Amino acid sequence: MTGKRSPVDLIDKLSFPFFALSIAAEYFALRRRPKRQSDDLADADLEVLSGKQLPADPLVPLGFERRDSTASLAMLAGNVGVQLAAAPALLRVDNFLYHHRISKFGSRRGSMIAAMILWDLCYYWDHRWMHEVRLLWANHVSHHSSERYNLTTALRQPWSPFLTFWVFAPLPLLGFPPQKVHRAGQLNLLYQFWIHTEAIDRLPEPIELVFNTPSHHRVHHGANRQYLDKNYGGILILWDRLFGTFEEEVRRIRYGLTKNIDSYNPMTIGYHEFRDIVRDVRSARTVGDRVRYVLGRPGWRPVEPLVASSAI
């Protein structure tokens, strides 16, 4: 059924103390372990040696950095504000879609489990498209901007999440009530919090085979060539195995972007790619180039014509 929903429910309220306690526990756990430095990554892109796969690198954490963690928490505060402001409008859209549903599938027994599986599948494509379409990447890039990897990185959330709200439209159209869709998404994102850590190494193989784990998600945050645009899954890593985007954690991971922004300013973190899109669109020579700068893959550039030198 449709209806009103409080933008902040009990699970949301309990999440914040849970986040704080988990971050504190991770901090003290990592404090006692040897750390690596950024310059330990000289061979991070090396995959094979003499045609043979190298042994997996040992997990040596980077730990915390105060300015980095503060920036991540500031991004969370901005994200919460945006979500609260957008929630009434987005709920109206969900209610409209549910009112015009094309199926009663979402009202069947076991529909909560079905909602979580379908939400996770939609999330896979949502996440993948955010890496493949520059306008959507401009929103998501903030989450990848940290050169550290810890539980505060999980809270480095973007400020334009409404850009991909439409990806989850199939759920209310299939008859899942908006409250159930919201709960499925809420539990999915809560699951993803704990996988942003270097305090946990690889888990038993059956878990690694089916579920997204810290090892799999560290790969997703890697700027190494072999790790780019891999492991998009939310709860299940099965989608990546099915759609050909899975990559094992083998080489030591270089976190962050291929070209880091070197800033802890939340405004820069949240909006630098939107700013760059505007700059590129203004400089574009054709309408087609303007469109590709917005909807093409991140990093797209027009091919410069070759200037032939004439011999005299």
Q: What is the pLDDT of residue 46?
A: 55
How large a percentage of the chain has pLDDT more than 70? 90
Per-residue pLDDT tens digits for 19-44: 999 999 999 999 989 988 765 665 55
Q: What is the pLDDT of residue 133?
A: 98
Per-residue pLDDT tens digits for 109-143: 889 999 999 999 999 999 999 999 999 999 999 99
Per-residue pLDDT tens digits for 194-223: 999 999 999 999 999 999 999 999 999 999
Q: What is the pLDDT of residue 305?
A: 64
Q: Where are the domains of the chain?
A: 10-37+56-275
pTM of the model: 0.91
pLDDT at residue 145 above 50? yes
Band the pLDDT of 236: cuts 50, 70, 90. Answer: very high
Per-residue pLDDT tens digits for 241-274: 999 999 999 989 999 999 999 999 999 999 999 9
Q: What angle do CA 259, 123, 101 make, to 5 degrees?
A: 145
State whether residue 211 is helix, strand or coil.
Answer: strand
Band the pLDDT of 311: cuts 50, 70, 90. Answer: very low
d(C-alpha 231, C-alpha 124), whole Å: 9
Q: What tokens does 134 get?
A: 């520059």
Q: Which residues pair with 211 in a beta bridge?
A: 236
Buried b / exposed e along 82-115 (16+ C-beta atoms within 10 A) = bbeeebeebbeebbebbeebeeebbeeeebeebb
pLDDT at residue 180 above 80? yes
